[in-house]
Amino acid sequence: MAQWWAGVSETFARCFINEGRYKLLISGIGVTIKVSLLAIVLGMVIGFLIALCNLSKKKPLKIIGKVYTDVIRGTPSVTQLMIIYFVVFATINWAKWIIAAIAFGINSGAYVSEIIRAGILSIDRGQTEAGRSLGLTAKQTMMYIVIPQAVKNIFPAMGNEFITLIKETAIVGYVGLMDIQKAGDFIKSATYEAFMPLVGTAIIYFVLIKLLTIALTKYEAYLRKSEKR
């Protein structure tokens, strides 16, 4: 038993302590969070615009929205990431993490747009009609009446999208970014240990997402409470 424990702690030290390897993981967490956060924001902005295109009565806008969602949903995110990084931004000298975040934002936008569209359509048509009959413009009705109510319905699905997005960023290693996944992988290669680095990676993602889930659940409960007033 004592011997087993000694073995385990030796491997642990080799994987996470020696040569400051924990620092790799910590900076990896930083990269994952940075990329995810910026991508979430971009995804929401793009998603909102695409949702408006999809809901618009104007034909060209409808087509743009449809093509966008079709293309993004119909291709793997790794392929999208690599095209954005090696083709679209090939000659533009921005920080890697920003380019990666743009790629994930573009990807997430397609899914967010569907969530927002469904959320807006879930609001009773009578709300729009009341707004219009009270002299609000179509835009005002959308902004002041429909969207504030849709946000509450959208929230759970949006939370899921954030979580999916964070997990999706585990492919940024393909464009040379050292995120959590890539750090784990790097330690695996350097130490010839598979179990600890990979399970360690999984645990870090799990904790990160658990924390986010708790925060989202709390916030959702808060929204529900304010709705019942």
Contact flag: residue 153 with other proteins (CB under 8 A): no
Question: CB of 209: closest distance to other proteins in angstroms?
Answer: 30
Q: Is 57 in the site for other proteins (CB under 8 A)?
A: no
Q: How many residues bind other proteins (CB under 8 A)?
A: 20
Residue whose structure tokens are 């790097």: 186
Contact of 205 with 164, CB cutoff 8 Å: no
Of 10 and 124, CB closest to other proteins: 124
- Contacts to other proteins from residues 125-144, by CB under 8 A: 126-127, 129-137, 140, 144
Task: Report the length, in residues, of the chain.
Answer: 229
Whole-number Å distance between alpha carbons of 196 and 122: 46
CB of 139 to other proteins, least distance (A): 10
**DSSP at 12:** H
Between the two ends of the chain, the Cα-to-Cα distance in Å is 59
- Phi and psi dihedrals of 124, rounded to 5? -55, 135
Nearer to other proteins, 27 or 128 (CB): 128
Q: Closest separation between CB of residue 152 and other proteins, Å?
A: 8
74 to each of 45, 65, 83, 149, how far by Cα in Å? 21, 14, 14, 31
* Site of interaction with other proteins (CB under 8 A): 124, 126-127, 129-137, 140, 144-145, 148-149, 227-229
